Structure 1
Amino acid sequence: MILSVPSSSGFGTHPNATSAEKARDASPGILSILEDHNVKDAVVEWYEGTVEKLAGPALMRVARETNPTYYVRRPFTAVLGMPIATKEEKDDTDVQGSVSFFSHENKTSTGKASTRVLAVSNNHVLRQDTTVDYQFQGALGEIRALIAANDAETTRLATEIDCLEAKPKSTDPDQAEEDEEALAIVKNELDKLKKNNITLQRSQYSMDRYFVDWAPKISVEVDDRAYTRDIGTFELDSLKFKDHFQGNVVDLVVLINADSSFPSNRMLRIQGVVTPELLASPDCYDENGYPIFIVGKDGNTTNLTLGRYSGLDAYLCDKSGKESIEVANYNYDKKSGNFSAKGDSGALIWTGDGRMLAILHSGMPRGLNSHVTFATPAWWVLEQLRVHYPYADFNRATF
């Protein structure tokens, strides 16, 4: 793996995969290659590290504003960075991550009108088995149909109970006993049906809130670019999101007091995407004149943080030998803290003017700190989403 910043080159190896002597012997050749490409006075740095998916443990419950811990929890709000948690029944495992951004489907792939609003995150946050493609098959329709049928049967049973209770008691002991037994049986059936419907409605509520719609398997072999495709979508329920939905915006409450240049309503609208050309050569510069993007992200664990992207790729090779190219983002400075950590998977990385830059999916810790955050270019992610959702709109501000 090669990571580069101006005047330095960092080489990360898998733990125990090399030695200090081998690193020393390889360094002169590396410096020679850099000099051949007009990179002078470079410093070679070696370190060990393992790339980790930044999914974390279960979320805390959402607190009300009257709760004194409100601001230290990740509130469940319809803005980017919204925390999400999935729970697989298979092994009772909880996983958490963040919403990347929202998208309106507009039309299905066949051209049929659609009002669905989808949220995007990492596949490894939404699914346990990331080695197979997943496409939702519509179980919600079956649940809704069963609830409707149960409602109709509930009405019928209630009417039958009314009739049995209104019926005068027969003077025939056998008939009277039969009527009482019938009433008890119908009441029992009604109670059972009501309990079943409560269970079904809870399932519908859970699935309506967000259920995975599409999650192609994680792959670095989608095309010859070798980017990591680690994406998945889930549908939002209009009853729960419509009233407060604002589209793709970031709440800058943490930074609003530090810089008066931010929007007065503290909401930064995300619109547009950093092109491949600008990813390779940023159109902004740091204090030393190097091309760079100062970037931000709002993640479930580290909340709103700033970092730096210098326009250079990271080349990763996993233990199985598969290679990928990633967008490498570094901490803002030595005092700013980690740009990301476990639980931030899926967070959107954006520029100061609100353009999508990349989708965070993993990182490499260095000691107790996060050394570098890896992400997939946002322009390429949108390209992959449009293969499945050809009419997707990423800029609408209403549900």
Structure 2
Amino acid sequence: MLRDDVEPALNSAIEKINKLHSDVNRFRTTPKQRTIGFVLHVEPIAVGDGPHQFTRDWALIELYKEKIVWDSFKGNKVYVGENLSPSDYCNTMFPRSEDQASYKYPRDGLLQAYGVVKHEEIRSPQHLDANGDGLATGTTVGRVNGLDSFTRVYTEYGIEQTGVPSLAGPGDSGAIVLERGGAIVGMLTGGGGANEATDITYLTPYWWLEEQMKKVFPDSYLYDVV
């Protein structure tokens, strides 16, 4: 038997799931109905690009505004609730007692992505773990000890890549890495290690990617905070 305070919440969740199932069956049955945008521009891939030697590998997607129900659109959010409970999120992302006074768990486990971590902040992380090292998060958790923590040099091609301790695994290229408050650190472009395990993740800083996008499409932007 369910407690009186549990049953209403469970019934509400079931109703939401049933409505989602009904809406998907009615409005998202065919691939055409599930298409919500198109590739507006694909930038040619380049490694060791410019004075910073960053990896250039991005595409710009334009959404069909009429396909989105803006009244209920949740914006650019990352679901952290699956991996981190409120207490786990607090202990992992805010391990220093002086930080926990302002700690708030993202509503519904959805971390709002907004803002961009600038170059000087990446080199000197503002958020520290219990050992005083940098900290960042997405749906997985890891530390950023300054963007230039590791450098991989491909001598035969004259290429250098900068990386951070591993945050990801195979197939995660293109994922966005956020700091604990939701500011965008960078886009994941690859990984590597001394053996089959990946122990280093390579990121292209988002502040630089945004600059490149604005050069091609000055009016491009991420959708506003909801």
Distance 1:307 1:296 in 2: 6
Aligned partner of 2:136 in structure 1 is 295
Give the CA deviation at 1:390. 0.8
Contact in 1 for aligned 2:48/2:159 (Cα 8 Å): no
**The 10-residue stretch of structure 1 (348-357 or 206-215) with the greater mean CA deviation from structure 2:** 206-215
* Correspondence list, 1:1-399, <5 A: 205=32, 208-220=35-47, 222-243=49-70, 244-254=72-82, 255-257=84-86, 258-259=88-89, 261-289=104-132, 292-297=133-138, 304-313=139-148, 314-318=150-154, 320-326=156-162, 328-331=163-166, 339-394=167-222, 396-397=224-225
Q: Secondary structure at the match of 2:219?
A: coil
Give the CA deviation at 1:371. 0.7
Check 1:315–1:368 CA distance in 2 against 1; reply closer, same or farther (3 A cut).
closer
Distance 1:340 1:229 in 2: 19
Distance 2:184 2:134 in 1: 12
Q: Who wins on radius of gyration, i.e. which is larger?
A: 1
Deviations 1:131-163 (A, max 9, x none): xxxxxxxxxxxxxxxxxxxxxxxxxxxxxxxxx
Q: Secondary structure at the match of 2:67?
A: helix
Give the CA deviation at 1:295. 1.1
Deviations 1:98-117 (A, max 9, x none): xxxxxxxxxxxxxxxxxxxx
Aligned partner of 1:155 in structure 2 is none
Check 1:217–1:341 CA distance in 2 against 1; reply closer, same or farther (3 A cut).
same
Quick one: which amino acid aligns to residue 38 of structure 2?
Answer: F
Give the CA deviation at 1:246. 2.4
Q: Secondary structure at the match of 1:265?
A: helix
Deviations 1:251-272 (A, max 9, x none): 2212134236412332211121
Contact in 1 for aligned 2:178/2:185 (Cα 8 Å): yes
**Alignment length, in residue pairs?**
184
Check 1:225–1:259 CA distance in 2 against 1; reply closer, same or farther (3 A cut).
closer
What TM-score do the two structures reach when normalised by structure 2?
A: 0.70
Distance 1:305 1:393 in 2: 25
Contact in 2 for aligned 1:208/1:235 (Cα 8 Å): no
Distance 1:267 1:252 in 2: 6
Check 1:312–1:356 CA distance in 2 against 1; reply closer, same or farther (3 A cut).
closer
Aligned partner of 1:186 in structure 2 is none
Distance 1:368 1:309 in 2: 22
**Is there any run of 5+ residues in structure 1 with no aligned partner, and where?**
1-64, 67-75, 77-201, 298-303, 332-338
Distance 1:324 1:347 in 2: 21
**Sequence identity of aligned pairs in percent?**
26
Distance 1:340 1:212 in 2: 25
**Is there any run of 5+ residues in structure 2 with no aligned partner, and where?**
1-16, 19-23, 25-29, 91-103
Contact in 1 for aligned 2:146/2:164 (Cα 8 Å): no
Deviations 1:197-248 (A, max 9, x none): xxxxx89x38953432111111135421111011012222334333453222
What TM-score do the two structures reach when normalised by structure 1?
A: 0.41
